[in-house]
A and B are shown apart, each in its own frame.
Chain A
Amino acid sequence: MAKIKSLEELKKIKEQAQQSVSLRVKGDNIENLVQVRVAMATCGIAAGARETMNEFIKVLNEEHMDNVVVTQTGCMGYCYAEPTIELTMPGKEPVVYGNVDKNKVHEIVEKAIKGGEMLDGIIPVTHNTVE
């Protein structure tokens, strides 16, 4: 560890360190954030849910979108449309998207999260998330 000799250097370390705790800060404030929940059952994982989740995290980090938190959930029951994700904008009803591959991830981030649009691929919700 090098010595911190000024306020600027302290701020620099703070910014780096903030990334490591930001996930926890988000967890503390989850109801005010955009939530992306990736269905992570066996069929989902087989269909590429893990890659989908990683892509979300990568894109959101690149875009510095601190208002979005990615978590995972169990089987949502839409095995024909895996990988599926559930998108919840703060204060709104959750929306489920099916067949979310890497390209779809970019579309969801750009249009649905940033633009607030509804996209193709919405699955009519027949389940309730179990808290």
Chain B
Amino acid sequence: MAEYKFHILVCGGTGCLSSNSHEIADGLKDAIKAAGMEEEVKVLQTGCFGFCEKGPIVKVLPDNTFYTQVKPEDVNEIVSEHIVKGRKVNRLLYVDPENEKHISDAKHMDFYKKQMRIALRNCGFIDPENIDEYIGRDGYQALAKCLTEMTPEQVIEEVKKSGLRGRGGAGFPTGLKWQFAHGYQADQKYVVCNADEGDPGAFMDRSILEGDPNSIIEAMAICGYAIGASQGRVYIRAEYPLAIQRLEIAIAQAREYGLLGDNILGTDFSFDIQLCFGAGAFVCGEETALIHSMEGQRGEPTIKPPFPAENGFWNKPTNVNNVETFANIPVIFLKGADWFSSIGTEKSKGTKVFALAGKINNVGLIEVPMGTTLREVIYDIGGGIKNGKKFKAVQTGGPSGGCLTEKDLDTPIDFDNLVAKGSMMGSGGMIVMDEDDCMPSVARFYMEFIEEESCGKCTPCRIGTKRLSELLKDITGGKGTMEHIAELKRVSQVIRDTALCGLGQTAPNPVLSTLAHFEDEYIAHVKDHTCPAGKCTALLKFKINPEACKGCTLCARKCPVGAISGEVRKPHTIDQAKCIKCGACMDNCKFGAITKN
């Protein structure tokens, strides 16, 4: 075997790939070949490093150098300087925004300091298309331990003891779910992995599948052993082509090794996995809708009970867990339930992966122990708000969740605290909003999403979300009254109480939580007909400050509808009746004389 001196890891997550990281990897291989060092340097593509903001990422080991925003044309310099001569390429190193110092080592970056990676342990570390790399990181040891040393009951007991709760959103105890499925007798049972990640702004499940697909396969096999199932299904949305491809490669390699198939590791246990592709409907994240979709029926939920544990896929006992939940399972068996339950808060154990998005400096994928505060996540890891703006709110739990504000920043994040604050953990999307975001517009965005995604089976969700969306359109369009706000509250309450499934019951959450925290903003829209954030075009008024206006006539010439008039060298005015609020005048004014509010 070649004795490699260096490993160069190139991020192969979806974000970095779309910024040409594939070309970077190929370029590095060519440059290394040209330098005659292919026996000494190994180049591989890994899963997501999480630091998507500064991608594509290239990491050189063992010296742990972390290069950001690498372009294909940088590869020759990396090879000739760093690899051949041992000089790090300073201009590609991460620059600490606080003191503008170059940081060469990922460990010294604030982004990584407070993170703890369990579910993401192999993302950005191994080649996800090579099962040997996973095995080299103790892969399939947990399955071997369960099959050879433990009974199914002991396996379930260990998961219960770990305190692991479902990472898909609701936080139901995983061990208990397994026990239910274990308790029903049937000739066939199923293990289903829910990879139908549908929240806007969430990409943690995709990244785990892209970066470490074998961890899911191993965990599903462990679950199969525990509940007595020999068949597994991964329900994954067809919009995730890279995740599907890597999962297929991993399944094929696991079958070749006999880690899937009959008599795994020489035991009596047999297990195999097939993929089912979803068309990307949000409601299919709900487990009964997901199962119907897998059976070829319409993706519509049915009333529980019966729960899938009793009557699921093809009417057989079925256990459905989310991708991130499964990703934690092998580690629980390798390090022990006691170790796992020592992390986190009293009722929420372990870590949680969050996808940071919105107006935050370090957009990316992070994993922190439960109990980390929002402030630590947003400011220490996320690097604070973009362009030095003021923090306004963060939406957690996607469209089913709610927003949290300044006063909630020091709340330790766990399942129960977020619910107590009127939001929820959800799958872990975190969309950060700043002072320029208008909350009724945010609610409208989510309501339009839900209206679109409602399956239409029950009336409260089908018609109620449509009504909410219309009310919000009126409010943000300048046609709202105080009755609109009262009606929003009333309709929300009815939907919450009467909708059939979780999607409908939580659909009004964005409305209720923005109303709870920002009712004054709603009132400003309907009473004063202004949008405090300056977002709602219909309510905007562009004005020229006569003291600052020099009468240069530039705005009058730029205005596409001729709404600005005035004499040369005298202050101009805007005819509000003609103005279409395009903002061209404001963008072009050289004296800052035009304001909007």
Contact = CB atoms under 8 A, between A and B. Distances in A.
Given A4-B265, A131-B105, A10 B132 contact: no
B5 A13 contact: no
A74 B140 CA distance: 41
A5 B136 contact: no
Given A6-B266, A57-B3, A41 B258 contact: no
B554 interface: no
- Size category of the B interface is 35 or more
Nearest to B6: A23
Interface stretch (A24-32, A105-113, A116-124): A24-32
B133 A21 contact: yes
A73 B365 CA distance: 31
Interface stretch (B57-65, B271-279, B507-515, B558-566): B57-65
A24 B125 contact: yes
B148 interface: yes
B261 to A, nearest CB: 8
Interface stretch (B81-89, B444-452, B464-472, B485-493): B81-89
Interface in B69-101: 84-87
B138 A42 contact: no
A3 B265 CA distance: 9
B265 A24 contact: no
Contact of A20 (B63, B85, B136): B136
Contact of A30 (B63, B86, B87): B63
A7 B144 contact: yes
Interface string B109-128: 00000000000000001100
A83 B139 CA distance: 41
A131 B259 CA distance: 44
A30 B64 contact: yes
B441 interface: no
A57 to B, nearest CB: 5
Interface in B353-394: none
A39 interface: yes
B568 interface: no
A18 interface: yes
A20 B126 CA distance: 10
B104 A19 contact: no
Interface string B243-263: 000000000010011110000
B577 interface: no
A88 interface: no
B565 to A, nearest CB: 62
A27 B3 contact: no
B265 A10 contact: yes
A118 B538 CA distance: 78
A20 B62 contact: no
Contacts of B63: 27, 30, 71-72
B105 A1 contact: no
A16 interface: yes
Nearest to A49: B86
Nearest to A33: B62
Nearest to A21: B136
B359 to A, nearest CB: 32
A61 interface: yes
A118 B63 CA distance: 25
B66 to A, nearest CB: 11
A45 B83 CA distance: 12
A96 to B, nearest CB: 14
A71 B253 CA distance: 33
B19 interface: no
B527 interface: no
Contacts of A54: 5
A15 to B, nearest CB: 9
B229 to A, nearest CB: 21
B85 A41 contact: yes
A1 B256 contact: yes
B7 interface: yes
A74 B87 contact: yes
B4 interface: yes
Contact of A70 (B5, B132, B144, B266): B5
B135 interface: yes
A122 B5 CA distance: 25
A9 to B, nearest CB: 8
B83 to A, nearest CB: 8
B570 interface: no
Contacts of A74: 85-87
B5 A21 contact: no
B590 interface: no
Contact of B135 (A13, A58, A70, A131): A13
Given A1-B257, A57-B3, A72 B135 contact: no
A72 B86 contact: yes
Contact of A42 (B4, B5, B9, B85): B85
B3 A61 contact: yes
Interface of A: 1, 3-7, 10, 13-14, 16-24, 26-28, 30-31, 37-42, 45, 53-54, 57-58, 61, 69-74, 131
Interface of B: 1, 3-7, 9, 42, 61-64, 84-87, 104-105, 107, 125-126, 132-133, 135-141, 144, 148, 253, 256-259, 265-266
Q: Which 10 A-B pairs have the closest CB atoms?
A: A17-B136, A3-B258, A27-B61, A72-B86, A40-B86, A27-B62, A74-B87, A17-B132, A1-B256, A21-B136
14 contacts: A3-B257, A4-B257, A5-B265, A10-B265, A14-B135, A19-B136, A21-B137, A23-B6, A26-B61, A28-B64, A41-B86, A45-B85, A57-B5, A72-B63
Given A30-B62, A131-B105, 9 more contacts: A4-B259, A5-B258, A7-B144, A14-B138, A27-B61, A42-B85, A54-B5, A69-B62, A74-B86
